[in-house]
Chain A
Amino acid sequence: MLKNSFLCSSSRVSIASLTVVAMADEIILLDFWASHFGMRVRIALAEKGLKYEYREENLWNKSRLLLEMNPVHKKVPVLIHNGKPICESLMIVQYIDEVWKDKSPLLPSDPYQRAQARFWADYVDKKVPQLYHELGKKIWYTKGEEHEAGKKEFIECLKFFEGELGEKPYFGGENFGFEDVALVPLSCWFYTYESFGNFSVEDECPNLMAWAKRCGQKESVSSSLADPHKVHGFVMEMRKRLGID
């Protein structure tokens, strides 16, 4: 009887320990390797030193989990934290910043500066679809006048960001933050646009290029951004599939 009790109590202790271990954060990221939006989340998770499970989605054959976790938009990235989904990359980044607030804050603490950071991140969000799907696409997909027009407008967009950055090391000032996270994934596409567009980002926007390199020196950024050559290969594949090569 006593022996049984001893065994029972030690089992209870083991179960309690198991429960404590199981209660550690479970973080899953549904993503696509070349996604600008997904890279933002990867950077934020890395900034906070968080362990997570990365799951690659095939955007042409979305998983049931993705459709279940983001029924409204059916898009990546989706962060699943202890079973609960958060969608929309900038919202995910803010969520990560608020939950793990003691390490590497991405947003400033002052409400006015936070508002400026959100305003600029929102501006980037408004520009990103145009940069990739309209202007960027004209650069790698079209020829002649349309190509030149796309290239010109793309460079103008970059120059606007260059102007906003000015002499600052980062968009928010002295420290890497929310606005930088919002924009920096574009930099791994520079090589692709430069090759097809026959221009140099460094020549057109030296400050922006310096900023991209500065961000790239951070482990959180370099480990999160797609390899520029892989991106180029991906676009070459798309060109073949669309019959232009």
Chain B
Amino acid sequence: MAAISLQTATMAEEVKLFGTWASPFSRRIEVALKLKGVQFEYIEENLSNKSPALLKYNPVHKKIPVLVHNGKPVAESLVILEYIDETWKHNPILPADPYEKAMARFWAKYMDDKLWPAATKVVVSKGEEQKAVIEEIQEQLKTLESELKEKKFFGGESLGFVDIAANIIVFLLVAQEALGLMEILTEEKFPVLHEWYQRLVDDAVFKECVPPRERHLGFFKARFGSSTASK
């Protein structure tokens, strides 16, 4: 009996993250784990040749990211973020108040439901269609700016759930630069959001979790670049 108790006591936390270097969804999980100081093993997946482990841990969607905690998998980035916040309770990323928490969930979902589809459209569209998508994105940024108001971060004094989910904007702006698109998040149009963005990318933990810049620019150029990029 004593031997079994000892074994349980010394069983270290085993945390694994299956992700890809260019995915905002797996990068989000890295931010959360680092904010909480959780040691983890990172496994880079090749999406055109998914590992048996990934397929075992996420049979429903077969996607990254997947967090595996002591052998038990959790999938879907926003679900994983909440799991991390509830398991490692220090440095909370979600507010404690139920109403504020509901608001945080709403705006994080907004990033995935609105900003992400628009961002994926902008890199594949051309000419007039691309201009229209950029306008749509700017409408969304306007909405976000009025939500942010005077706050330092969406999470308040320090970055939280919504700021982490907003990492999609980083990817969008790298794509914009790589493809030579017109500037999307201008200081002139979005004074508040522009300042927030600088704070976000300067944050000590956040900046460790963005893809290496040159490699990321190269990725967008190779995949979506063409000679007919609009200005």
Chain A residues proximal to chain B, CB less than 8 Å: 72, 81, 84, 86-88, 91-92, 94-95, 98-99, 111-112, 114-116, 118-119, 122-123
A94 touches B83 (CB 8 A): no
Chain B residues proximal to chain A, CB less than 8 Å: 60, 69, 72, 74-76, 78-80, 82-83, 86-87, 98-99, 101-102, 105-106, 109-110, 143
Partner of B75, one of A81, A94, A119: A119
A119 touches B79 (CB 8 A): yes
Given the known A-B contacts A114-B83, A115-B82, are A94 and B76 also in contact in the complex, defined by CB atoms under 8 Å?
A: no
Chain A residue contacts of B82, Cβ below 8 A? 114-115, 118
Given the known A-B contacts A86-B99, A98-B98, A115-B74, are A91 and B69 also in contact in the complex, defined by CB atoms under 8 Å?
A: no
B87 touches A111 (CB 8 A): yes
The 6 closest A-B pairs by CB, nearest first: A111-B86, A98-B98, A115-B83, A95-B102, A115-B74, A118-B79
B86 touches A87 (CB 8 A): no
Chain B residue contacts of A116, Cβ below 8 A? 74
B118 to nearest A CB, angstroms? 14
Chain A residue contacts of B60, Cβ below 8 A? 123
B74 touches A84 (CB 8 A): no
Cα–Cα distance between A98 and B95 once the two chains are bound (Å)? 12
Given the known A-B contacts A72-B110, A112-B72, are A122 and B98 also in contact in the complex, defined by CB atoms under 8 Å?
A: no
Cα–Cα distance between A239 and B86 once the two chains are bound (Å)? 48
Partner of A122, one of B69, B72, B76: B76
A88 touches B109 (CB 8 A): yes
Query: Which residue of chain B has its CB nearest to the CB of A95?
Result: B102
Cα–Cα distance between A105 and B99 once the two chains are bound (Å)? 18
Count: A-B pairs, CB below 8 Å: 52
Cα–Cα distance between A5 and B82 once the two chains are bound (Å)? 57
B98 touches A88 (CB 8 A): no
Query: Which residue of chain A has its CB nearest to the CB of B98?
Result: A98
Query: Which residue of chain B has its CB nearest to the CB of A82?
Result: B99
A112 touches B69 (CB 8 A): yes
A112 touches B74 (CB 8 A): yes
Cα–Cα distance between A98 and B82 once the two chains are bound (Å)? 14
A94 touches B102 (CB 8 A): yes
A114 touches B86 (CB 8 A): yes
A119 to nearest B CB, angstroms? 5
B80 touches A88 (CB 8 A): no
A86 touches B74 (CB 8 A): no
Chain B residue contacts of A95, Cβ below 8 A? 98-99, 101-102
Query: Which residue of chain A has its CB nearest to the CB of B60?
Result: A123
Given the known A-B contacts A119-B74, A119-B76, are A88 and B83 also in contact in the complex, defined by CB atoms under 8 Å?
A: no
Query: Which residue of chain A has its CB nearest to the CB of B75?
Result: A119
Q: Can you offer 25 A-B residue contacts whose CB atoms are under 8 A?
A: A72-B143, A81-B99, A84-B99, A86-B99, A86-B106, A87-B106, A88-B109, A94-B102, A94-B105, A95-B101, A95-B102, A98-B98, A99-B98, A111-B87, A112-B69, A112-B72, A112-B74, A114-B82, A114-B86, A116-B74, A118-B76, A118-B82, A119-B75, A119-B79, A123-B60
Cα–Cα distance between A81 and B86 once the two chains are bound (Å)? 25
Cα–Cα distance between A29 and B47 once the two chains are bound (Å)? 43
Cα–Cα distance between A92 and B106 once the two chains are bound (Å)? 10
Given the known A-B contacts A119-B74, A123-B60, are A111 and B102 also in contact in the complex, defined by CB atoms under 8 Å?
A: no
Most central of B102, B105, B143 by chain A CB within 10 Å? B102
